Structure 1
Amino acid sequence: MALVRWEPFREFEMEPFREFGSLQREMNRLFDSLSPRTGGNGGMAFVPAAELQETPEAIHLKLEVPGMEAKDLDVQVTSEAVAISGERKSETKTEEKGVTRSEFRYGSFRRVIPLPTRIQHENVQANYQNGVLTLTLPKAEEEKNKVVKVNIG
């Protein structure tokens, strides 16, 4: 028995299958244009990842915004939600063997995150370090001591 290497794209070169190769390239192009990007390619905005953790005293929110500086971020807090927006503008240049390569990344985002409980929006603490924005949102006093009576059927 001889081993034969299967090359699926080679089959597309045959006349009846040529249209499938073209269709596959068009579908790949379509999915590439719809996928979210973390740069600014094609004018698409990026959506930073967020992590929300609740403790008895506060809500802790972390947001990944690499490549940005604290001055590029705008954080607005109400007692029920956090709105974070920013704009990324970065450029990297490398030179190797007399060839300069330059890459630009632009993009803006706005994300509104509803909070599971009311907070003291006047006492929010923020820290930005290594591309991670961390917010500590202390809970409102009435939420900390809130007791709900449950009626049993």
Structure 2
Amino acid sequence: MNTLVKTHFANPSYLNGIFRKDLFNEFAAPAFSGSVPAVNVVESKEGFRIEVAAPGLQKSDFKLNLEKNQLTISAQKENKEEEKNEKYTRREFNYVSFQRTFTLPNSVNGDKIEANYSEGILSIALPKREEAKEKPARAIEIA
């Protein structure tokens, strides 16, 4: 059985390919706190859906890239805060960024992947190829 596999790049202690874990067994990922956002993966008969919890970001902050069955989801946002007073000016810069990579099973049709961002959730639809979809049982006639 093929599964989606995630790889962390936010922390250099995770090396791509060495510490691979089955994504479906790792639901204890931290909530988005400036490091790596929490992710849900749902499988249906038609395909998979990845939901990334990333509140406070905008659609334009995300980049999705598919290369050789590797789906990379990344985001970067710069927050600037400035306070001017009579005697001083205070500026603070805050950068929020993350990157997650998923190894997609061969059953996913990479040409039909779609994504949308609404109410703090990035939702990515990964449809299965026709030949990978479950077929209903059928009787086979004996000749």
TM value normalised by structure 2: 0.58
Following TM superposition, the consecutive aligned residue runs of length 4 or more in structure 1 with deviations greater than 4 angstroms are 91-94, 100-104
Q: CA deviation at 1:102?
A: 7.3
SS in 2 for 1:67: coil
Q: Does 1:53 align with 2:48?
A: no
- Larger helix fraction of residues: 1
Over the residues paired in the alignment, what is the CA RMSD in angstroms? 3.1
Within the candidate set 112, 132, 141, 2:121 is matched to 132
Q: CA deviation at 1:119?
A: 0.9
CA distance in 2, matches of 1:114, 1:128: 21
Q: Does 1:123 align with 2:118?
A: no
Cα distance change, pair 131–93 in 1 and its aligned pair in 2 (3 A): farther
Q: CA deviation at 1:54?
A: 0.3
**Does the CA contact (< 8 Å) of 2:45 and 2:134 recur in 1?**
no
Cα shift readout 1:81-111 (whole Å, capped 9, x = no counterpart) = 32101112224679xxxxx997653122110
- Larger strand fraction of residues: 2
SS in 2 for 1:71: helix
Identity %: 34
**Does the CA contact (< 8 Å) of 1:79 and 1:121 recur in 2?**
no
What count of residue pairs does the alignment treat as equivalent?
102
Considering Cα pairs closer than 8 Å and 6+ residues apart, tell me whether 1 or 2 has the greater RCO. 2
Spell out the pairing of 1:9-20 with structure 2 (5 A cutoff): none
